[in-house]
Amino acid sequence: MVANVAEYDQVCVEFEGRETLSIPHLELQAARRYAVVGPSGSGKSTFLRLTNLLEKPAKGQMRLFQKNLPVKGYSRSEQLELQRQMVYVSQKPVMFDISVFDNVAMGLRYRNLSKVEINERVEAVLQAVRLTGFTDRRAVSLSGGEAQRIALARALVIEPKLLLLDEPTSNLDPMNIEIIEEAIHQIYKQIGVTIVMVTHNLQQARRVGDEIIFVHQGKVYQKQERDQFFDSPREKEIEDFITGRMIY
């Protein structure tokens, strides 16, 4: 039986007393790729932040990497232990004002890897995002597409169990989109990382997702295998969304 990296049961996130996200029940299996889609403002990013423990549920039960997380709270050390097993890449990459190499190597140094292994792994991920030769460049001087590729490399280099991507190709040109998608596929094949990627691009969801998670009006509404989601949607709201009809 395939293990789950995350489980949610009757989970609710609130902001100023208002429910912003509800998850009746959801399981994310290890070594699967999930594309998260839905209208703007539906709660997709909140779902990623909840999973990365940047948001706390107001009620319900979460389980990450086989560890139960009680709603009453968990310690900072417990939070860090879980967060070290996953990486969250935001839509707007943050670059430290140091070299590209040092940006990518930062997480490995905190994990006390040897200099040889750090060099090998940084070189490998820079090759995956097609930025070999950029090691000495100042990261803050990169273009938007290059910076997003470095942010992805920085996430991939530590080989997380769970990779959370919040629209990593938003506003990028087709070349950068292709490079980022290829790098995601490559790391998936190499280490079998579980990937959860928010995207507004339905064609991209087809390309990167084994399963599709639909979020609508603050609710994780449905999870279906990719082909079933697009060819035989279970709900009218999903059919309307796929066909481009207005839903709110």
Predicted confidence at residue 235, as pLDDT, reads 84
Amino acid at 32: R
Query: What's the pLDDT tens digit per position in 18-52?
Result: 999 999 999 999 999 999 999 999 999 999 999 99
Q: What residue segments make up the domains of the chain, in order of their start?
A: 4-242
**Cβ pair 181, 206 in contact under 8 A:** no
Residues 245, 201, 223, CA angle at the centre, nearest 5°? Answer: 80
Structure tokens at 29: 């299996």
Predicted confidence at residue 16, as pLDDT, reads 87
- pLDDT band of residue 148 (cuts 50, 70, 90) is very high
- pLDDT band of residue 158 (cuts 50, 70, 90) is very high
- CA torsion sign for 144, 146, 147, 149 is positive
Where residue 40 falls (left for φ over 0; alpha for ψ -120 to 50; beta otherwise) is beta
Pairing of strands 4-15, 162-166: unpaired
Instruction: Give me the sheet containing 4-15, strands edge to edge.
Output: 67-69, 59-64, 4-15, 18-29, 219-225, 211-216, 33-37, 194-198, 162-166, 86-89
Predicted confidence at residue 1, as pLDDT, reads 62
In CATH terms, the fold of domain 4-242 is: Rossmann fold (3.40.50)
Tell me: pLDDT of 216 over 70: yes
Mean pLDDT in the chain?
93
Interatomic CA distance for residues 232 and 212, integer angstroms: 12
Predicted confidence at residue 247, as pLDDT, reads 60
Using a cut of 0.75, tell me whether the model's pTM lies above it. Answer: yes
| Strand positions, DSSP E, the chain | 4-15, 18-29, 33-37, 59-64, 67-69, 86-89, 162-166, 194-198, 211-216, 219-225
Interatomic CA distance for residues 125 and 171, integer angstroms: 23
For residues 67-85, average pLDDT = 87
Q: How many CB atoms sit inside 10 A of residue 245's CB? A: 10
Tell me: pLDDT of 176 over 90: yes
Q: How many residues does the chain have?
A: 248
Q: Lowest mean pLDDT: which of 25-29, 159-163, 184-188? A: 184-188
